[in-house]
Copies of this chain bind each other. A is one copy, B any other.
Amino acid sequence: MNRFIFTALGLLLTANASATSSQEGVDFFVQNDPYGALMAILGMGIVFIVLLLLFLVFSVTPKFYQKEFKEWGSSLLSKKSKKEKYAIEKPVIPSVNSDLSGEVNAAIAAAIYLYQSEMHDYENTVLTISKVSRTYSPWSSKIYGLRKVPREHQ
């Protein structure tokens, strides 16, 4: 029993498996999966595998890049971009640790009020949300509040 699992895993990891022709896909499912159970198991399995991979990679990425990427970046980039980097990262650390202040909460509430009352399409909400997300670094909030919103409404 375990033999099969290991062989299967082995095959998944080595690349010499001869790909079966998928032409027979439908016929195969007609004969072997009359109730869709196999499709459900395989389908949900694959969806979970792929999204788990995304989860794993992007759980690891932040740590990885905060050490390595920065160094690689700083070796590549000129002094000009150093300023940019700070501009990006300064707000990051405090906002991760700090609790939501009342002020930020108000900004969220306002943004949410906005989208409840007038915004009804995909873009607007996404933008609203991205604005909300940016207000976590408080000094950028005013720019987005004043400059972006009117432009998106037109």
Contact = CB atoms under 8 A, between A and B. Distances in A.
Interface of A: 80, 117, 151, 154
How many identical subunits does the complex contain?
3
A114 B10 CA distance: 57
A80 B80 CA distance: 51
A56 to B, nearest CB: 35
2 contacts: A80-B117, A151-B154
A154 B154 CA distance: 15
A154 B150 CA distance: 13
A154 B147 CA distance: 11
Nearest to A148: B154
Contacts of A80: 117
A133 B2 CA distance: 77
A120 to B, nearest CB: 14
Nearest to A154: B151
Nearest to A151: B154
A79 B154 CA distance: 25
